[in-house]
Amino acid sequence: MGDSFLTLDDLPPGGKTVLLRVDINSSINPETGALLDDTRIRRHAATAKLLAEAGSKVAILAHQSRPGLLDCVPLERHARRLANLIDRPVKFIPDIHGELACDAVTNLKVGEIVMLDNVRFDTDEVTISSWNGEDFTPQADTALVRNLAPLADIFVNDAFAAAHRCQPSLVGFTEVLPMATGLVMERELRKLGGAIADGPTPRIALLGGSKAADSVAIARHFLSQGVDEILTGGVVANLFLMADGIDIGAPSTAYIRDHITNWEQVVADAEALRKEFGDRLVVPIDVAVSEEGLRHGLPVSELPTKYPVHDIGIETLVAYLARLEKAGTVIANGPMGVFENLEFATGTRELFTAIADSDALTVVGGGETTMAFTHMGLADRVNHVSTGGGACIAFMSGRLMPVLEALRHSKKRFDEGGYEK
String of contacts with ligand 3PG for each residue 220-249, x by CB under 6 A: ------------------------------
Dihedral sign computed on CA atoms, order 185, 75, 105, 111: negative
**Cβ partners under 8 Å of residue 45, min gap 6:** 82, 85, 86
* Residue nearer to ligand 3PG on the CB measure, 82 or 256: 82
- 361-364: strand order across its sheet: 281-282, 229-232, 203-207, 329-333, 361-364, 384-385
In angstroms, what is the minimal distance from the CB of 318 to ligand 3PG? 35
CA distances from residue 128 to 143, 145, 391, 403, 405 in whole angstroms, order as listed: 12, 13, 18, 14, 17
Cα(264)–Cα(271) distance, integer angstroms:
11
Classified as helix, coil or strand, 227 is coil
Binding-site size for ligand 3PG (CB under 6 A) equals: 8
Under the criterion CB under 6 A, does residue 402 sit at the interface with ligand 3PG?
no
**Phi, psi (deg, nearest 5) at residue 330:** -125, 130
Among 23, 117, 158, 214, binds ligand 3PG (CB under 6 A): 23
In angstroms, what is the minimal distance from the CB of 391 to ligand 3PG? 6
Cα(300)–Cα(248) distance, integer angstroms:
8
In angstroms, what is the minimal distance from the CB of 268 to ligand 3PG? 28
Q: Which amino acid, 392? A: C
Question: Which range binds ligand 3PG by CB under 6 A, 158-166, 227-235, 323-331, 347-355?
Answer: 158-166
Question: Which range binds ligand 3PG by CB under 6 A, 103-111, 160-168, 237-245, 249-257?
Answer: 160-168
Cα(175)–Cα(414) distance, integer angstroms:
10
In angstroms, what is the minimal distance from the CB of 342 to ligand 3PG? 28
Under the criterion CB under 6 A, does residue 162 sit at the interface with ligand 3PG?
yes
Half-sphere exposure of 378 (CA within 13 A, CB side): 22
Contact 401, 162 (CB under 8 A): no
Under the criterion CB under 6 A, does residue 97 sit at the interface with ligand 3PG?
no
* Residue nearer to ligand 3PG on the CB measure, 162 or 256: 162
In angstroms, what is the minimal distance from the CB of 159 to ligand 3PG? 8
Cα(219)–Cα(214) distance, integer angstroms:
9
* Residue nearer to ligand 3PG on the CB measure, 25 or 358: 25
String of contacts with ligand 3PG for each residue 53-92, x by CB under 6 A: -------------x--------------------------
Among 16, 165, 191, 220, binds ligand 3PG (CB under 6 A): 165
In angstroms, what is the minimal distance from the CB of 65 to ligand 3PG? 7
Cα(43)–Cα(182) distance, integer angstroms:
11
* Residue nearer to ligand 3PG on the CB measure, 66 or 91: 66
In angstroms, what is the minimal distance from the CB of 340 to ligand 3PG? 20
Cα(385)–Cα(405) distance, integer angstroms:
23
* Residue nearer to ligand 3PG on the CB measure, 51 or 162: 162
Residues 360-399 that bind ligand 3PG (CB under 6 A): 389-390
Question: Which range binds ligand 3PG by CB under 6 A, 8-16, 157-165, 266-274, 409-417?
Answer: 157-165
Q: Which residue is nearest to ligand 3PG (CB)?
A: 25
Cα(139)–Cα(155) distance, integer angstroms:
15
* Residue nearer to ligand 3PG on the CB measure, 25 or 174: 25
Contact 289, 296 (CB under 8 A): yes
Question: Which range binds ligand 3PG by CB under 6 A, 159-167, 248-256, 372-380, 395-403?
Answer: 159-167
Cα(367)–Cα(354) distance, integer angstroms:
20
* Beta bridge pairs of residue 157: 21, 181
Classified as helix, coil or strand, 21 is strand
**Phi, psi (deg, nearest 5) at residue 313:** -85, 175
Classified as helix, coil or strand, 213 is helix
* Residue nearer to ligand 3PG on the CB measure, 97 or 165: 165
Among 161, 177, 223, 361, binds ligand 3PG (CB under 6 A): 161
Q: Number of H helices and number of E strands within the chain?
A: 18, 15
In angstroms, what is the minimal distance from the CB of 214 to ligand 3PG? 13
Under the criterion CB under 6 A, does residue 25 sit at the interface with ligand 3PG?
yes
Report the interface residues with ligand 3PG, using CB under 6 A: 23, 25, 66, 161-162, 165, 389-390
